Amino acid sequence: MSAPILAVQDLCLRFGGLIATNNVSFSVKPDELHAIIGPNGAGKSTLIAQLAGDRLPDSGQILLGGADVTGLPSHARAQRGLGRSFQITSVFSEFTTLANVALAVQAGAGSSFRFWKRAAREHALVEPARAILDRVGLSHRADVPAGALAHGEKRALELGIALARRPRLLLLDEPMAGMGPEEAARMVELLAALKGSLAMVLVEHDMDAVFRLADRISVLVYGRLIATGSPEETRSNPEVRQAYLGEDE
């Protein structure tokens, strides 16, 4: 058993009287795809925000690769190996697709306080970026401004930007949101191909995708984790069926 890449212990966050995150604890192994599911309003986005560093929890601890990152801002977590794709597509629209990824490569490739050499001509940035575009299937769109990409392509680019940092852990906040069935199927394949090379936390409403991809599933209801287990265990867990799946079917 290897040590977990992510360990969350007793995380709590309240908004006034509302408990958004209630004593949440779970861990993610280095090569695991861990899905978090739950009905609308269960607090998934709030949980992701705390993992990413957009919100600070009231109490509890977040360990990334064994180091406490609970109080760190998002850019510091990124530097420690946390990658992220947003629920709402967030790319650099004015940059080309290639430049989007190259910038992310740059973030993990030495100092960016270099003022003279043209970044677009640095092989150390452009070559890895091309390799990643290849991985996410966007090579043919490398020189198109990101703002002009189709929705599914932007989602793939979003993933490419996150991968370019060579994260040890990737937070995927509804990567299939707003996609048609074909685009979604392509994204599932993409994520399936990535599995094993890094750890992922996946928040997703598309249950087919979740059950196909996840190694383990945690179920969040009203800010509380009611179960964690393999897809089979989750499917057959009576509490989960009642709280969540029953409601869905």
**Sites of contact with other proteins (CB under 8 A):** 52, 73-76, 78-79, 84, 86, 90-95, 99, 102-104, 106-108, 111-120, 122, 125, 143, 161-162, 164-165
Smallest gap from Cβ 188 to other proteins, in A, equals 23
Show the tokens assigned to 150: 């189709």
Smallest gap from Cβ 104 to other proteins, in A, equals 5
Of 157 and 187, the one with the shorter C-beta distance to other proteins is 157
Of 73 and 180, the one with the shorter C-beta distance to other proteins is 73
Alpha-carbon distance of 208 to 212, in angstroms, equals 6
Of 95 and 222, the one with the shorter C-beta distance to other proteins is 95
Of 169 and 225, the one with the shorter C-beta distance to other proteins is 169
Residues 6+ apart with CB under 8 A from 97: 133, 138, 141, 142, 143, 144, 145, 146, 149, 153, 157
Show the tokens assigned to 97: 């697709």
Of 58 and 122, the one with the shorter C-beta distance to other proteins is 122
**CB-based contact 173:45 (threshold 8 Å):** yes
Size (the chain), residues? 249
Smallest gap from Cβ 74 to other proteins, in A, equals 5
Strand partners, 35: 202, 217
Burial degree of 150 (CB within 10 A; 0-12, 13-18, 19+): exposed
What is the distance between the terminal CA atoms of the chain, rounded to a whole angstrom? 37
Of 36 and 126, the one with the shorter C-beta distance to other proteins is 126
What are the Cα distances from residue 131, in Å, to 24, 96, 119, 141, 230? 37, 15, 17, 13, 33
Smallest gap from Cβ 56 to other proteins, in A, equals 15
Of 143 and 249, the one with the shorter C-beta distance to other proteins is 143
Helix pair angle (151-164, 181-194), 10° resolution = 10
